[in-house]
């Protein structure tokens, strides 16, 4: 069995543990309430209504992390960055960067594959008002630890927004806590590089706080760090040996 096969098996087991997690009572109630009373556009759909594991390439060198599972995105579809506007933005950017095989993310059976990348959120359940509590955040960081441990080739963590940045810094024990900013990077004691990007929320993308070019620049920097021999090379797929 190869190392990548070992990693895939480990990540599958981690994903199963994440999906069965019920440690945060408020989030357990909320994810079910959302599923029981969906908006009209999703009427009749069967919601996942469980914590959402990360997904992607077991040989990923880049991990993209959002704030939390979206109530009608991952909480509905069962896959991170899937079925909502934020997911659309992120997956289009991953595709432009050569890290995804297609620019769309609609449902788990849509054929999307990440290549050299892993994607998820620091809080795996949909929180009320999209605002996890500090206790919920810290409880969920154990899942991040397990995923990172199984991603043996990981080099870069891309934090989408200040919440994800602060959560990763807390998880990594970074002292003093590095200040968040778009395009800011910080090398963690583990050797992983933490990159910051403004969050691709509708508020940020509709107002120009975050543009596609800005997100592309962050992912291009992540690619340069993850595959330094390929720095400056564009238009190539990044899957396979580096």
SS (H, E, C) 150-190: HCCCCCEEEEECHHHHHHHHHHHCCCCCCCCCCCCEEECCC
Q: Model confidence over 37-73: pLDDT tens digits?
A: 999 999 999 999 999 999 999 999 999 999 999 999 9
To the nearest whole number, what is the mean pLDDT of the chain?
93
For position 39, what pLDDT does the model report? 95
**Res. 6: pLDDT tops 90:** no
Q: Model confidence over 139-187: pLDDT tens digits?
A: 999 999 999 999 999 999 999 999 999 999 999 999 999 999 999 999 9
Q: Model confidence over 202-239: pLDDT tens digits?
A: 999 999 999 999 999 999 999 999 999 765 544 444 44
For position 7, what pLDDT does the model report? 85
* Range list of β-strands (E), 27-101: 55-56, 62-68
Residue carrying the six token digits 């788990």? 108
Helix (H) or strand (E) holding 215: helix 212-226
Helices (H) and strands (E) in the chain, counts: 8, 6
Nearest to 167 by CA among 187, 184, 190, 144: 144
Output the six-digit token pair for 83: 């079925």
Would you say the C-alpha torsion 85, 182, 150, 19 has a positive or negative sign?
negative
**Res. 74: pLDDT tops 80:** yes
DSSP 8-class letter at 191: S
For position 2, what pLDDT does the model report? 55
Distance CA 212, CA 90 (A): 9
Per-residue pLDDT band for 4 (boundaries 50, 70, 90) equals low
Residue pair 237/98 in contact (Cβ under 8 Å)? The answer is yes
Residue pair 145/192 in contact (Cβ under 8 Å)? The answer is no
> What's the whole-number mean pLDDT along residues 7-20?
96
Q: Model confidence over 107-140: pLDDT tens digits?
A: 999 999 999 999 999 999 999 999 999 999 999 9
User: Looking at the DSSP assignment, which residues form a beta bridge with residue 56?
Assistant: 118
Distance CA 27, CA 96 (A): 34
Distance CA 120, CA 115 (A): 14
């Amino acid at each position: 069995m190869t190392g990548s096969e070992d990693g895939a098996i480990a990540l599958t087991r981690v994903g199963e543990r994440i999906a069965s997690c019920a440690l945060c009572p408020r989030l357990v109630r909320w994810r079910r309430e959302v599923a029981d009373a969906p908006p009209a556009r999703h009427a009749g759909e069967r919601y996942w209504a469980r914590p959402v594991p990360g997904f992607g390439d077991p040989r990923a060198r880049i991990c993209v992390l959002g704030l939390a599972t979206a109530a009608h995105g991952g909480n509905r579809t069962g896959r991170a960055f899937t079925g909502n506007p934020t997911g659309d933005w992120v997956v289009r950017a991953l595709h432009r960067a050569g890290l995804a095989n297609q620019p769309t993310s609609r449902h788990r059976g849509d054929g999307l594959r990440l290549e050299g990348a892993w994607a998820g959120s620091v809080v795996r359940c949909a929180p009320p008002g999209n605002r996890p509590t500090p206790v919920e955040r810290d409880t969920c960081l154990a899942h991040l630890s397990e995923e990172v441990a199984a991603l043996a080739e990981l080099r870069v963590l891309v934090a989408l927004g200040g919440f994800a940045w602060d959560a990763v810094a807390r998880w990594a024990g970074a002292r003093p806590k590095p200040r968040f900013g778009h395009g800011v990077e910080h090398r963690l004691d583990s050797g992983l590089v933490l990159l910051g990007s403004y969050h691709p929320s509708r508020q940020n993308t509709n107002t120009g706080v975050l543009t596609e070019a800005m997100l592309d620049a962050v992912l291009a920097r992540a690619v340069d760090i993850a595959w330094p021999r390929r720095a400056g090379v564009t238009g190539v797929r990044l899957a396979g040996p580096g």
